[in-house]
Amino acid sequence: MADMVIGTAAFRPLHMATCKVQCSNCNLREICIPVGLTREELTYVENRLVAVRRKVGRGEMLFHSGDAHDALFAVWTGFFKTVVTSEQGREQIVGFHMAGELIGFGGLGSGRHDVDAIALEDSQVCVIPYAELASLERELPQLQKQFHTLVSREIAADHEVMFLLGSMHAEERVAAFLLNLMHRLRARGFSASSVLLRMSRGEIGNFLGLKLETVSRTLSKFHADKLLDVRQRQIGILDPAGLQRLLDGLPAAR
């Protein structure tokens, strides 16, 4: 996999694969930071944000917990997990992140990242230097607004996860997880009837507070109940309404 990039390959300040970013041409501009900006503002932001893209291979770390926090990252392609690690090495996945989502909010204030960010497949992120972002935020109210929206979306999402972890049974957790994934993919124009999982059963289980065997069993049960078509990591969503019903406390169906 050569580190070739859009247009010129001349711009590559570090040894890591990077390239100049053009928000105005990006297909995620209606989801990501630039939402609501006029065309002029957008070009201005592009130039000022001097963001570069960075490639992160499958399994590689985008950043470590404790690293100096001088930038946020917008997922452009690929898929990430963010992980909290305790002193003793116990790990808890606190989020999965797909195209258009920002990573790194947890370290804004302290100046240190509070999680590890790891690519689950070969990915590319836009690097958003924090100092520039803060400065632009002061100049462009609309950008400030969108920044607030993205932060608060992260918080609201975390609250949903706490709800899941604090009050759902295994089957509900798995159903909620799949529906959430489905909704986010649909919002990005992908098929809502089929999901290719980017993470292992173990990672799903870790995120959901379950063991991998429980996740596997639950998926098998959903398969048997004709809610899903499980083929390894390729999951067909046969009955979204049925999954939703599980969440609504109606155990079976009807």
Partner DNA sequence: CGCGAACTTGAGGCGTGTCAACCCCTGTGG
Partner DNA sequence: CCACAGGGGTTGACACGCCTCAAGTTCGCG
Binding site for a second copy (CB under 8 A): 84, 86-88, 90-94, 105-110, 114-115, 134, 137-139, 141, 144-145, 148-156, 158-163, 165-167, 206-209, 247-249
200 binds DNA, rule: CB under 7 A = yes
57 binds DNA, rule: CB under 7 A = no
Q: Contact, 62 vs 16, CB < 8 A?
A: no
Helical axes 141-167 vs 130-139, angle rounded to 10°: 120
DSSP string, 202-235: HHHHHHHTS-HHHHHHHHHHHHHTTSEEEETTEE
DSSP H or E segment with residue 253: none
Q: How far apart are CA 69 and CA 84, in angstroms?
A: 16
Shortest CB 215 distance to DNA, Å: 7
228 binds DNA, rule: CB under 7 A = no
Residues near 21 by beta carbon (within 8 Å), at least 6 away in sequence: 46, 49, 51, 52, 53, 126
Phi, psi values for residue 235, rounded to 5° = -110, 120
- x/- mask, DNA, residues 159-188, rule CB under 7 A, reads ----------xxx-----------------
For tokens 């990005």, name the residue.
188
145 binds DNA, rule: CB under 7 A = no
Shortest CB 14 distance to DNA, Å: 25
77 binds DNA, rule: CB under 7 A = no
202 binds DNA, rule: CB under 7 A = yes
- Exactly one of 219, 227, 243, 246 binds DNA (CB under 7 A); that residue is 219
If the CB atoms of residues 88 and 232 are measured against a second copy, the closer one turns out to be 88
249, two tokens: 């406390």
Shortest CB 16 distance to a second copy, Å: 26
Q: Which does 150 bind (CB under 5 to 8 A by kind): DNA, a second copy, none?
A: a second copy
Other CB atoms within a 10 A radius of the CB of residue 187 amount to: 12
- Exactly one of 61, 179, 212, 238 binds DNA (CB under 7 A); that residue is 212
Residues lying near DNA in the complex (CB under 7 A): 169-171, 197, 200-202, 205, 209-217, 219-220, 230, 232-233
